[in-house]
Chain A
């Protein structure tokens, strides 16, 4: 297995938890940060902390250049045509809300339909519910199969002339399923609907090419791609972003303000009101560069190996069932153990220094679909090692023994 040396670049991985070496398997919630990213943050605050865009002094210029360099790096990372199409947000959730409040308010009217899927994160459910309620529109849901895949046939039946938007997750944070978004997008476009892809879990694992995908919007978060918290990205097709109304008012988003009328700034600033999260945005570039330097291909192979290894070993544990056995899966595995509440497993594993996620993973409707209160989820990153999976498996045996 490769990527053993990478661990040294993540200082947190050498800490102890409850007297044991940390085994961090909660990467789908947030990934750990390499030293470079941490350094980028301190470097900004130590050497060129300044507000961006308006200042004419040296620090302001340096900060502005670094900030805009991230936009260019993101453009490249997602394969967008123009930097104007890259809007910085707080994260995936804010990016989705931005679309709901701007494009949604402008384009959704009574009787329209928005399609989401049965495996959406609450962040890609609630904004659409709010919009549908306000506009008297309808939310339709693509069913999830027992394997944890989206039923494409059912999806195609939901599509119709009333469908205005399809908003689906690229990689499920609860099941690991990689959705076939190309097919979903093509079908949506045939009925004239726009498509938003929730890339919160995919940006770190998959090669993203928004132009090839032809999605209309794509959202992801910095903190899940080895970058800082508090910064995320909305990609939108230029024509759409041009036509959409503004989101929040004030700061950089204006061109001219009089008390009678305000003209708005050009893209992407039109959507970036107020002083943005400068330091974290700058450090996001370092994170993306880091991923690129390691190589997504290499990371993917590594994580696929971890997934296969974990899956094989988990399957040997009696009464354990894996939830989500899609053919195409990213590096995460969710499971339940008969007669044991996931929280009990999580609490005991924590005492062994093992960090997993337990619960509904902010996908309550999906848990309901599978008739479970939640799962135990182990999600992998480039720095995880098979030995850590051994620790998890041993820990699980012990945990189950203590609980039964």
Chain B
């Protein structure tokens, strides 16, 4: 199966969300995603991988192989976990370049741009920033390897 681009996946999520007509449906979908998110092995649940916020804790770990970045994450709060699951769905398995260029407009479009998205330290925006930081680090690594 051909790998879909980040904008394509984003569009698909927006279309999925357009089918929900209540906030309950949206949240039930996100909670479900949270429950289904592949587990992050305990060995990665360390201080270094923590995005520590005021409320819930998020662990985020990136792996790099074949020129693609793969993300794994976990959180003690299930809604946050569901939201991260969407981020992973969009960004994981792409090149650092693609990740750095991702606009991530879908978050606004699906109506999840609440305080949860903006909370300073573990909001969605902070998480996206962290994911892009990983991508940037791998991109720089790539650059140095090519020299």
Q: Give chain A's interface residues, CB within 8 Å of chain B.
A: 18, 340-344, 347-348, 350-351, 358-360, 373-374, 402-403
Distance, CA A221 to CA B76, complexed state (A): 33
Asked if A402 contacts B24 (CB within 8 A), the reply is yes
Interface stretch (choices B42-50, B64-72, B77-85): B77-85
In the complex, 5 of the A-B residue pairs with CB atoms within 8 angstroms, ordered by the A residue number, are A341-B76, A344-B31, A348-B27, A373-B76, A402-B27
Asked if B54 contacts A341 (CB within 8 A), the reply is no
| Chain B residues within 8 Å of A359, by CB | 54-55
Asked if A373 contacts B56 (CB within 8 A), the reply is yes
Asked if A403 contacts B54 (CB within 8 A), the reply is no
Asked if B80 contacts A343 (CB within 8 A), the reply is yes
- Nearest CB of A to B129, in Å: 20
| Chain A residues within 8 Å of B27, by CB | 347-348, 351, 402
| Chain B residues within 8 Å of A373, by CB | 55-57, 76
- Nearest CB of B to A143, in Å: 26
Distance, CA A374 to CA B76, complexed state (A): 12
Of B23, B24, B28, B77, chain A has the most CB atoms within 10 Å of the CB of B77
Asked if B78 contacts A403 (CB within 8 A), the reply is yes
- Chain A residue with the shortest CB-CB distance to B78: A344
Distance, CA A122 to CA B140, complexed state (A): 41
User: Considering the complex of A and B, which 7 residue pairs feature the smallest CB-CB distances, nearest first?
Assistant: A341-B77, A343-B55, A343-B77, A359-B55, A343-B56, A351-B23, A344-B79
Distance, CA A347 to CA B56, complexed state (A): 12
Q: How many A-B residue pairs have CB under 8 A?
A: 42
| Chain A residues within 8 Å of B56, by CB | 341, 343, 373
- Nearest CB of B to A49, in Å: 34
Asked if A347 contacts B23 (CB within 8 A), the reply is no
Asked if B78 contacts A341 (CB within 8 A), the reply is yes
Contact of B116 with A by CB under 8 A:
yes
Given contacts A347-B79, A347-B116, A342 and B55 within 8 Å (CB-CB): yes
Asked if B79 contacts A343 (CB within 8 A), the reply is yes
Distance, CA A360 to CA B56, complexed state (A): 10
Distance, CA A358 to CA B76, complexed state (A): 14
Indicate which residue in B23, B76, B80, B116 contacts A18 across the interface (CB closer than 8 Å).
B23
Mask of B26-45 contacts with A, CB within 8 angstroms, 1/0: 01100100000000000000
Distance, CA A402 to CA B79, complexed state (A): 11
Q: A341-B78, A343-B77, A351-B23 are in contact. List 7 more A-B contacts (CB 8 A).
A: A343-B80, A347-B79, A347-B116, A360-B54, A360-B55, A373-B76, A374-B55
| Chain B residues within 8 Å of A18, by CB | 23
Distance, CA A166 to CA B55, complexed state (A): 30
Mask of B8-38 contacts with A, CB within 8 angstroms, 1/0: 0000000000000001100110010000000
Distance, CA A209 to CA B67, complexed state (A): 70
Distance, CA A359 to CA B80, complexed state (A): 14
| Chain B residues within 8 Å of A402, by CB | 24, 27-28, 31
Distance, CA A341 to CA B76, complexed state (A): 7
Distance, CA A200 to CA B65, complexed state (A): 54
| Chain B residues within 8 Å of A348, by CB | 27, 79
| Chain A residues within 8 Å of B78, by CB | 340-341, 344, 403
| Chain A residues within 8 Å of B116, by CB | 347
Distance, CA A350 to CA B115, complexed state (A): 11
| Chain A residues within 8 Å of B80, by CB | 343
- Chain B residue with the shortest CB-CB distance to A399: B27
Distance, CA A348 to CA B79, complexed state (A): 9
Distance, CA A105 to CA B116, complexed state (A): 41
Mask of B99-122 contacts with A, CB within 8 angstroms, 1/0: 000000000000000101000000
Asked if A358 contacts B55 (CB within 8 A), the reply is yes
| Chain A residues within 8 Å of B23, by CB | 18, 351
User: Which residues of B in the span 89-147 have a Cβ within 8 Å of any Cβ on A?
Assistant: 114, 116
Distance, CA A343 to CA B56, complexed state (A): 7
Asked if B31 contacts A403 (CB within 8 A), the reply is yes
